Structure 1
Amino acid sequence: MIAVLIILVSCCCFIFSTWYTMYKNRNLPPGPTPLPLIGNLLNIERGALVNSLMTLWKQFGPVYTLYFGSKPVIVICGYEAFKEALVDQNDAFGARGETPALDPFAKSRRIIFTNGERWKLMRTFTFKTLKDFGFGKKSFEGKIQEETRCVMEELRRSQGQPMNPARCFSYAFVNVLCSVIFGERFEYSDKRFSKLIGIVDDIFHTMCSIWGQEKNDPSSPFTSENLLYVLHSLFMGASDTVSTTLRHALLIFLKYPDAEDKVREEIDRVIGRDRLPRMDDRLNMPYTQAVMHEVQRFSDIAPLNGPHMVTKDVQFRGYFIPKGTNIYPLLCTVHRDPTQFATPYKFNPNHFLDEKGQFKRNDAWMPFSAGKRMCPGEYMARMEFFIALTTILQNFTLSSEKEFTEDEVAPKLAGFLNFPIQYELSFIPR
């Protein structure tokens, strides 16, 4: 009995000591009181991670502290605080933070999860390699246009019958990358291509000649293995990110057909019906640009952003953040910031239009994040999205037997990303 009592007292002392060490004043930002061992896990509603974090934003302000176990995490919310950390102090906040849930996949996405000199070399390597493959050049635009023609043929085969375009879109955007890197595209019915897409999708959803130099240096990132990791990251981004954005856009048009009609009117006036859209057309299409920006803001595909970590002791907004502390800069709070967007929870292209109807930039638009960790595929994604969306509306009218509610159109969090609901629509040839 005495032994049991001693063990019980010892356990209580250990728990209290751990809790006190964890919660004692270290001049960290405010936050909900953590519990011993589990920290603030009870403050996160199951299945509603984003909503829970945004509720804490309203309660504790733009910078607050959460504990996952005994480790503190600093959560940064809203445009001003986000910009101050990732842009104004990008050296201090530019490292990639820990992602325990993704550790099994971190190796295959090494450019995303590395830090320091290795990350700099890999990022430079990626940009140079992409440029060598033609990214950002006129020839790359041609690859996207070529694949878009194939998508139009696929959509015409539906003969106006309801269909889910998700598979077609995913195949198309991966095919663009295949045509650039491998020098050929694949038919959508090709079994090898289907297997490639399946592998990429499985990994993605379970997560929710320069390389020949220095090849004998084991610490060098320029290896054929790392090349495969870089390509794997690009395939994952190509198959899901743009496809998901496009599916969001079409669902939004089904709910708001006036926006579809205005974009199509601009397409007919600027581009016409006899040629494919080009990237430079967007300069004369302010409403289309506004709609595309608003789709990306509203759909908010990566609401949690990626975790960051401070590289040194930092004084931030009057608080002390020790070196190595994980930082969660929430993109969802930037895209839903009421000081930057008049109707943050509603689809509203006027967020990106001035009083004369001209396109208006907004610095709080950050679908590709900000600072040193911005997505390297931004230009590719924006080009694909513009050409695909305008070509679809140039050739088809969208229709659905179902009337969608605002709640159904709103993005739905699955794992770490926002997806549209599953839906079908008809592509009616014009």
Structure 2
Amino acid sequence: MELNSTLILAGLSLVLLWLFHITKKIKYRLPPGPTGLPLIGNLAQLDRRAPYKTLQKLSESYGPVLTVYLGPQRTVVLVGYDAIKEALVDQGDDFTGRGPFPFLVKVTRGYGKTRILHISNGERWRQLRRFTMTTLRDFGMGRKGMEEWIQGESRHLVGHMESTDATAFDPTFVLSCTVSNVICCLVFGQRFNYDDSNFLRLLKITAEAVRFGSSTWGQMYNVFPWVMDRLPGQHQAMFGKIDRIREFIMMKIQEHKETMDPSSPRDYIDCFLTRLNQEEDNLTTEFHYDNLVSTVLNLFLAGTETTSTTLRYALSVLIKYLNIQEKMQQEICTVIGKERCPSMEDRKSLPFTDAVIHEVQRFLDVVPFSFPHYALKDISFRGYTIPKDTIIIPLLHSLMREEKQWATPWSFNPQHFLDQNGNFKKNPAFFPFSAGKRSCAGESLARMELFLFLVSLLQRFTFSCPGGPDSVDLSPEHSGFANVPRTYKIIATPC
């Protein structure tokens, strides 16, 4: 009898949820979309190995603006250049809200940038973002000072590759160290050696976090966080590992507290601590210890993995397409030679190299979903109403594979970024860092790193792998929130 009552109650709950969705559709003119089931929505229809491909396919039936339910969460998906540009750029003020990303909220404990994303999406977010961007620029991000830091780090990278004596090695963590050291100089005021075992453990956790976010467990956590928090599994182990990064950051903050001189800040942590002390009597300030820890954690994670992953993927591409690698080396040798350190000024004289780097980003499609946006109010868009509290996904994957924007969208083709005279040309649909007011804050730094590190490597080495070009598979090993490329041992032969 008790079991029957429970089943009846569960059934009534599902019916009420279904009726709630129907009422919403009547009240608002929602974008069209497939019918979902109560509680799980359209999850059963998604390809769990590459859910963004299902959304792209659904747009063929329902149009470039469609509604799906990821679990109980109403979600509007924007597909294709026209719809995404119209929303994020032309109607950008309406789409500045950032959607809750439960995995990141849990990682940062609701503080830092993620707190701004999840709770306020207004003045709090602007306050921390403005401070962070201003401070990082003061220490050189996107400027000549940062270029010199990257050039210095590239010499360490080249030196490490020389030490491999043209034997096969896994480049994953050396590239992570290289990229992470740049953000570490900005945030911690120091770089770490490539053989620092503690630092390597933190980078391994960072890589695992990205893979977890693209796994079934990670996707389920983002859809049903209130359920997953109460269940054992990989997600609990992952959060425990990320706490080690948090402990490392807290240790570094304590070191800064003991040694800082407010009149002469060394890095981002010093500047934040100074502002924290200035506003300690302000009860509404966002400059407090928990926000410092989580913002630094956010910077460390974001400033490491996507750029190092793109560099690793670039090397796989060049190993697979040796003719492209040879052409880049010829161009670099002609313009720079083998001794002079590359600079950003060289980019305009290296159109083919620049085109290849852009095509690597397009073809990798590292964040196919982008970070979700959020309707802070009812939004009128293309004759539809996107109700308040709706998640909005600009499907960046659709930009990178849109047939009317790219001549051969499913093939690696540097000609996508070259005109008929071999000069570099921009493509308006190239949004690897998203667009509008919520575009990636580290875009200028990432562009600089990709160019200087890759040119420095090709200036000195020819890359191959033990299995030869045909053994390289450029399709992702994991697809979800991020496309995670396959890992290969490589050989760096001095040229």
Q: TM-score, normalised by structure 2?
A: 0.81
The count of corresponding residues between Structure 1 and Structure 2 is 429
Aligned to 2:463: 398
Q: Does 2:205 correspond to 1:141?
A: no
Aligned to 1:424: 489
Aligned to 1:104: 106
CA distance in 2, matches of 1:300, 1:346: 13
Unaligned runs of 5+ residues in structure 2 are: 215-270
CA distance in 1, matches of 2:173, 2:101: 29
Aligned to 2:226: none
Distance 1:417 1:5, change over 3 A: closer
* 8 Å Cα contact 1:173-1:243 kept in structure 2: yes
Alpha-carbon displacement from aligned partner over 1:14-39 (angstroms, at most 9, x marks no partner) = 53343133134332111111122321
Aligned to 2:137: 131
Distance 1:312 1:144, change over 3 A: same
Segment drifting more, 32-41 vs 108-117: 108-117
Q: 1:116 aligns with which of 90, 112, 122?
A: 122
Distance 1:38 1:108, change over 3 A: closer
CA deviation after TM superposition for structure 1 residue 141, in Å: 1.1
Segment drifting more, 293-302 vs 95-104: 95-104
Q: Does 2:70 correspond to 1:68?
A: yes
CA distance in 1, matches of 2:484, 2:6: 49
Segment drifting more, 65-74 vs 372-381: 65-74
Alpha-carbon displacement from aligned partner over 1:317-363 (angstroms, at most 9, x marks no partner) = 11111122111111111111111111111111111111111111111
SS of equivalent residue, structure 1 residue 96: coil
CA distance in 2, matches of 1:294, 1:360: 12
Distance 1:291 1:5, change over 3 A: closer
Aligned to 2:171: 165
Q: 2:275 aligns with which of 193, 200, 211?
A: 211
Q: 2:96 aligns with which of 79, 89, 94?
A: 94
CA distance in 2, matches of 1:232, 1:7: 44
CA deviation after TM superposition for structure 1 residue 147, in Å: 1.0
Opposite residue 93 of structure 1, the aligned amino acid is: F
Q: Does 2:58 correspond to 1:56?
A: yes
CA deviation after TM superposition for structure 1 residue 75, in Å: 0.7
Q: Does 2:364 correspond to 1:299?
A: yes
Alpha-carbon displacement from aligned partner over 1:236-286 (angstroms, at most 9, x marks no partner) = 123211110011111111111111111111101111112110011001111
Q: Does 2:471 correspond to 1:411?
A: no
Q: 1:28 aligns with which of 24, 27, 30?
A: 30
CA distance in 2, matches of 1:265, 1:109: 48
Opposite residue 79 of structure 1, the aligned amino acid is: Y
CA distance in 2, matches of 1:272, 1:377: 30
CA distance in 2, matches of 1:143, 1:289: 21
Distance 1:9 1:383, change over 3 A: closer
Alpha-carbon displacement from aligned partner over 1:211-233 (angstroms, at most 9, x marks no partner) = 23323323212234323322222
Aligned to 2:250: none
Q: 2:288 aligns with which of 223, 227, 230?
A: 223
Alpha-carbon displacement from aligned partner over 1:284-316 (angstroms, at most 9, x marks no partner) = 111111111111111111111011112221221
Unaligned runs of 5+ residues in structure 1 are: none
CA distance in 2, matches of 1:153, 1:11: 63
Q: Does 2:179 correspond to 1:177?
A: no
CA deviation after TM superposition for structure 1 residue 8, in Å: 6.7
* 8 Å Cα contact 2:50-2:479 kept in structure 1: no
CA distance in 1, matches of 2:102, 2:192: 36
SS of equivalent residue, structure 2 residue 303: helix
* 8 Å Cα contact 2:50-2:480 kept in structure 1: no
CA distance in 1, matches of 2:201, 2:366: 25
SS of equivalent residue, structure 2 residue 61: helix
* 8 Å Cα contact 2:309-2:484 kept in structure 1: yes
CA distance in 2, matches of 1:109, 1:333: 32
User: For the aligned residues, what is the CA RMSD?
Assistant: 2.3
Distance 1:11 1:268, change over 3 A: closer
Distance 1:354 1:15, change over 3 A: same
Aligned to 1:386: 451
Opposite residue 59 of structure 1, the aligned amino acid is: S
CA distance in 2, matches of 1:103, 1:335: 28
Q: TM-score, normalised by structure 1?
A: 0.93
CA deviation after TM superposition for structure 1 residue 104, in Å: 1.1
CA deviation after TM superposition for structure 1 residue 374, in Å: 0.8
Aligned to 1:372: 437
* 8 Å Cα contact 2:169-2:491 kept in structure 1: yes
Aligned to 1:327: 392
SS of equivalent residue, structure 1 residue 422: coil
Q: 1:339 aligns with which of 404, 408, 419?
A: 404
CA deviation after TM superposition for structure 1 residue 84, in Å: 0.7
Alpha-carbon displacement from aligned partner over 1:84-112 (angstroms, at most 9, x marks no partner) = 11111111111011223443124377324
* 8 Å Cα contact 1:336-1:344 kept in structure 2: yes
CA distance in 2, matches of 1:249, 1:69: 36
